[in-house]
Chain A
Amino acid sequence: MKLTLRIWRQKNAGAPGALSTYEVAGISPDMSFLEMLDTLNEELLLGGDDPVAFDHDCREGICGACSLVINGEAHGPNGASPAGADSRAWGSTTTCQLHMRSFQDGDTIDIEPWRAAAFPVVKDLVVDRSAFDRIIQSGGYISAPTGAAPEAHATAVPKPAADAAFEHAECIGCGACVAACPNGSAMLFTAAKVVHLNSLPQGAPERESRVLDMVGQMDAEGFGGCTNTGECATACPKGIPLFSISTMNREFVRAARKGR
């Protein structure tokens, strides 16, 4: 395959950025999208140019490092599922699990970083997502110091609650929800952790302070408000459900009424 790439280049956080155009040839449909970028970078490097910086690590869709807006979509287009595969699981993907067979020979592809006020660009396609860490630090945990734990079977957890907790705990913190949202809102990310921990009996003692503190931190970081657009859940590679936001809102109102 031969492709034209239009890639956001930006030297550092303070420098202005722009799209630059590159041609790549000899791309195999079996390559992952990031391997296609590896190929470009090897050529740039040997030609004396600065390779394109992008975040990536596990390359198996679980670490949450990769973060590209491809043709305007966070993590790019979803490939068509092959006959027989679970289309729900298939339909959601991280950039590292996107393969070049989702594109056509001769395509022009736009590649940009996450765009959000709370995720400043570090370089090229790399952004600073430390705001997510600070939201977790504000209350996204259960206070259980090492050694203080009771026997694991001391508290039974009803299976529906355990399953709900797991479904929300699957969030990989990639930030696609923020990148996809027209308001740059982090409601889906924050809700995923609130619902995970508030669904469990172990999370009950800090139920109110958790949601109030995390929402407060989310606002302080400069993320936008939620207008129920739903783009976040569509872009989420792990299928965090949109209703988690209404669950978090309910938790928030309940906690605010109790006055902590």
Chain B
Amino acid sequence: MTSTADRTPYGSYADYPTGAPVADAAAPDGPIAERWDRRRFEAKLVNPANRRKHTVIVVGTGLAGGAAGATLAEQGYHVEQFCYQDSPRRAHSIAAQGGINAAKNYRNDGDSVHRLFYDTVKGGDFRARESNVHRLAQISVEIIDQCVAQGVPFAREYGGLLDTRSFGGVQVSRTFYARGQTGQQLLLGAYQALSRQIAAGGVRLHARTEMLDLIVVDGRARGIVARDLVTGRIESHVADAVVLASGGYGNVFYLSTNAMNSNATAIWRAHRRGAYFANPCFTQIHPTCIPRTGDHQSKLTLMSESLRNDGRIWVPKAEGDTRPPARIPEDERDYYLERLYPSFGNLVPRDIASRAAKNVCDEGRGVGPGGQGVYLDFADAVARMGRAAVEEKYGNLFDMYARITAENPYEAPMRIYPAVHYTMGGLWVDYDLQTTVPGLFAIGEANFSDHGANRLGASALMQGLADGYFVLPSTINDYLARNPRHDTLTAEHPLVQEVLAETEDRLNLLLAVGGDRTPDSFHREIGTLMWEYCGMARTEAGLRKALDRIPLIRDEFWRRIKVPGTGQEFNQSLEKANRVVDYLELAELMCLDALHRAESCGGHFRVESQTPDGEAARRDEAFSYAAAWEFTGTGAAPTLHKEDLAFEYVHPTQRSYA
């Protein structure tokens, strides 16, 4: 799709043009509960005998990618599957702790598909598409069936039936879990299903192989360029469709709860080749992470927010109070969440808890090294419930905290601080999960579709598996059936060769600069800038400052980057540097998106848009749309395409927690 917008030739990045609206043409109309059935019925099918002639590339082996690869191969397609890790089992879905939501209503507590749909649309602060969210809620029940059949060891009651718990402030108990390792167990289920297909020959696995670009021929996604991280060889891989399941882009902030090597290159390169990027500024910051201890910090560790059920959050009333917590008397402590939000107290939503922690630390009342922390105190809980009961409930989290900090949380309060955790934005997709590049699909955290401006707890795993097991394997049939194989694209095709050459040039350039700064130093610099200006609270002035600064960092990067070794070997510095190249462009788009969205909603808090009591003020009259950005060149203003959001079933309301 090309923009019809006028463009000022030498305008600044912030002077973006607005192009034609973008619409989701794939969703059927009619009653919302029937749309998914209708879509599946109307979709064309590929004759089973013809499926093995089709090759589908899947990038990533997390919940979405692993599930999609396994399911497509079960249907008879040939799958070429890629992951940068040494094994598909290590994808970062493995680190998810809490659980997975499903509208099973096993508790008979009033849950239903409609309630899960309603909670998700409302939780997303009315910036998600109703059709997609309803489908997600419908599919949630099938996911649990599928995972149990695979041998996922969910927690069970003594009668042998599945246990559930309530999570993230919802009033029904719909979260299925496997202790604090639900992501691990679900991922191993998908990995094992994928492994079965690898053995059967339906999936060819390319481990330690990283996608570096997308191949588009005649306007359709036809393959990828990828680098074998062991030999350094850069090769093209052609296919009939490409599925990106490469996860989120939280590592643009340098410090996040993401895995160290999680990166944005696959989706950013696809964006550069024509896929619109939607709502890039919608990022989720999780309030209960272990604070950093110094400049050496390489990543942050999340602790389940269930801790807020019994822990009390406080800081000293006085600025710069450095006494140990036990020496600070009760009347000199500020239990600020209980004070500001008396009815919800310590259980306010993630974004409110995070922002409040930042505010008290900005006032100079933070605790621990660098004053970037607040106390989460279990003294009252131990006194009320007894130590044994606290241990039973939170023992594994307390041990994890003790291992990392060498402090005993039974005796001294924990220190916590918010950290970047999840990105709701991602590649724009229609109801079929197809991007604006025909034949290119995006699933899981890599797309933008289901969580709006804020994701509810235990919903990431649900969406990844819904996309991978059920949605994509149905909708991709339609695309493949309508685009039958009529050519045999080979690696010798000039367009394929061109993308290959561009990728090689980029890596060679990185190796050739020979400057005096490391890839990590630039990553840390852009991350610090993003955390400061595009983090928990965003202002117009701050975002403009960031937009001024980012091109300068980019210039400096290309003058001063130092990458040792060669491209023809295992070279982790080169991998890192190449990922930073893309962060330096994505960061700019995130800031622009945050600047243009002059409202507060979900995880996006614009200081200029708040209610008198400091609550996020959404502005539906101006911003009830998804912002889909079209790439026009590095440093050039992208074109905005709006997808208007209509709410037929869930009426937008302003939330209040005061």
Using a CB–CB distance below 8 Å, which chain A residues touch chain B? 11-12, 28, 30-32, 34-35, 38-39, 42, 45-46, 48-51, 53, 55-60, 62-65, 79, 81-86, 89-90, 93, 97, 99, 101, 122-123, 126, 128-130, 132-133, 136-138, 140-153, 155-159, 162, 165-166, 169-170, 172-173, 196-197, 200, 202-203
State the CA gap A203–B280 with chains docked (Å). 43
B518 within 8 A of A: yes
Q: A30-B293, A51-B573 are in contact. Are A99 and B299 (CB under 8 A)?
A: no
Q: Which residue of A39, A90, A142 contacts B149 across the interface (Cβ within 8 Å)?
A: A142
B-side contacts of A157, CB under 8 Å: 156, 160
Q: Which residue of A51, A64, A97, A172 contacts B404 across the interface (Cβ within 8 Å)?
A: A97
Q: Which residue of B178, B188, B293 contacts A28 across the interface (Cβ within 8 Å)?
A: B293
A-side contacts of B381, CB under 8 Å: none
State the CA gap A170–B178 with chains docked (Å). 10
Q: A84-B408, A141-B192, A144-B146 are in contact. Are A122 and B570 (CB under 8 A)?
A: yes
Q: Are B86 and A142 in contact (CB under 8 A)?
A: no
Q: Are A146 and B192 in contact (CB under 8 A)?
A: no
Q: Are A152 and B148 in contact (CB under 8 A)?
A: yes
B250 within 8 A of A: no
Q: Are B104 and A35 in contact (CB under 8 A)?
A: no
Q: Are A150 and B298 in contact (CB under 8 A)?
A: no
Q: Are A28 and B296 in contact (CB under 8 A)?
A: yes
Q: Which 3 A-B pairs have the closest CB atoms?
A: A156-B160, A141-B192, A149-B149
B516 within 8 A of A: yes
A-side contacts of B191, CB under 8 Å: 136
Q: Are B195 and A140 in contact (CB under 8 A)?
A: yes
A-B contact pairs, 30 of them (CB 8 A): A38-B520, A45-B564, A56-B260, A60-B95, A60-B299, A63-B94, A82-B402, A82-B407, A85-B399, A86-B399, A89-B395, A89-B396, A89-B399, A90-B403, A97-B403, A126-B570, A133-B205, A136-B89, A141-B192, A141-B196, A142-B151, A144-B151, A145-B71, A150-B149, A153-B106, A153-B161, A153-B162, A157-B156, A159-B160, A169-B185
B168 CB to nearest A CB, Å: 20
State the CA gap A145–B193 with chains docked (Å). 8
Q: Which residue of B198, B230, B260, B473 contacts A59 across the interface (Cβ within 8 Å)?
A: B260
Q: Are A143 and B196 in contact (CB under 8 A)?
A: yes
State the CA gap A34–B469 with chains docked (Å). 36
B521 (CB) vs chain A CBs: closest residue = A42
B120 CB to nearest A CB, Å: 21
State the CA gap A12–B147 with chains docked (Å). 40
Q: Are A32 and B298 in contact (CB under 8 A)?
A: yes
State the CA gap A142–B257 with chains docked (Å). 31
Q: Are A141 and B564 in contact (CB under 8 A)?
A: no
State the CA gap A12–B195 with chains docked (Å). 28
Q: Are A152 and B144 in contact (CB under 8 A)?
A: yes
B300-333 interface mask toward A, CB cutoff 8 Å, 1 = contact, 0 = none?
0110000000000000000000000000000000
B-side contacts of A51, CB under 8 Å: 564, 572-573
A-side contacts of B88, CB under 8 Å: 133
Q: Are B299 and A62 in contact (CB under 8 A)?
A: no
Q: Are A159 and B156 in contact (CB under 8 A)?
A: yes
State the CA gap A158–B153 with chains docked (Å). 11
Q: Are B469 and A146 in contact (CB under 8 A)?
A: yes
Q: Are B410 and A84 in contact (CB under 8 A)?
A: yes
B86-99 interface mask toward A, CB cutoff 8 Å, 1 = contact, 0 = none?
11111010110000
Q: Which residue of A138, A140, A159, A169 contacts B157 across the interface (Cβ within 8 Å)?
A: A159
B470 within 8 A of A: yes
B151 CB to nearest A CB, Å: 5
Q: Are A129 and B86 in contact (CB under 8 A)?
A: yes
Q: Are B192 and A57 in contact (CB under 8 A)?
A: no
A157 (CB) vs chain B CBs: closest residue = B160
Q: Which of B147, B293, B296 has the most CB of A within 10 A?
A: B296
B411 within 8 A of A: yes
6 other A-B residue contacts (CB within 8 Å) besides A12-B569, A150-B145: A30-B294, A34-B298, A59-B301, A82-B407, A84-B411, A202-B151
B49 within 8 A of A: no
B514 (CB) vs chain A CBs: closest residue = A48
State the CA gap A151–B145 with chains docked (Å). 5
B88 (CB) vs chain A CBs: closest residue = A133
State the CA gap A200–B521 with chains docked (Å). 49
State the CA gap A85–B162 with chains docked (Å). 30
A34 CB to nearest B CB, Å: 7
Q: A45-B573, A59-B259, A165-B153 are in contact. Are A149 and B403 (CB under 8 A)?
A: no
State the CA gap A157–B160 with chains docked (Å). 4
Q: Are A85 and B398 in contact (CB under 8 A)?
A: yes
Q: A63-B90, A65-B90, A166-B179 are in contact. Are A58 and B259 (CB under 8 A)?
A: yes
B-side contacts of A138, CB under 8 Å: 199
Q: A133-B195, A141-B195, A169-B188 are in contact. Are A48 and B564 (CB under 8 A)?
A: yes
B-side contacts of A133, CB under 8 Å: 87-89, 195, 198, 205, 207
B150-174 interface mask toward A, CB cutoff 8 Å, 1 = contact, 0 = none?
1101111111111000000000000
Q: Are B161 and A59 in contact (CB under 8 A)?
A: no
Q: Which residue of B86, B104, B144, B196 contacts A65 across the interface (Cβ within 8 Å)?
A: B86
Q: A122-B230, A162-B154, A169-B188 are in contact. Are A85 and B402 (CB under 8 A)?
A: yes
Q: Are B160 and A146 in contact (CB under 8 A)?
A: no
Q: Which of B207, B395, B473, B518 has the most CB of A within 10 A?
A: B518
Q: Are A162 and B153 in contact (CB under 8 A)?
A: yes
B406 within 8 A of A: yes
Q: Are B90 and A144 in contact (CB under 8 A)?
A: no
A-side contacts of B520, CB under 8 Å: 38, 42
B-side contacts of A148, CB under 8 Å: 149
State the CA gap A59–B299 with chains docked (Å). 7
Q: Which residue of A32, A42, A55, A203 contacts B151 across the interface (Cβ within 8 Å)?
A: A203
B-side contacts of A85, CB under 8 Å: 398-399, 402-403, 408
A-side contacts of B403, CB under 8 Å: 79, 85, 90, 93, 97, 99
B226 within 8 A of A: no
Q: Are B145 and A152 in contact (CB under 8 A)?
A: yes
B348 within 8 A of A: no
State the CA gap A159–B154 with chains docked (Å). 10
Q: A57-B259, A152-B144 are in contact. Are A90 and B94 (CB under 8 A)?
A: no
Residues 78 to 125 of chain B near chain A (Cβ within 8 Å):
85-90, 92, 94-95, 104, 106
B355 within 8 A of A: no
Residues 169 to 224 of chain B near chain A (Cβ within 8 Å):
178-179, 181, 184-185, 188, 191-193, 195-196, 198-199, 205, 207
B562 within 8 A of A: yes
Q: Are A45 and B518 in contact (CB under 8 A)?
A: yes
A81 CB to nearest B CB, Å: 7
Q: Are B402 and A81 in contact (CB under 8 A)?
A: yes
B-side contacts of A196, CB under 8 Å: 151, 153
B464 CB to nearest A CB, Å: 14
B67 within 8 A of A: yes
Q: A85-B398, A133-B87 are in contact. Are A35 and B297 (CB under 8 A)?
A: yes
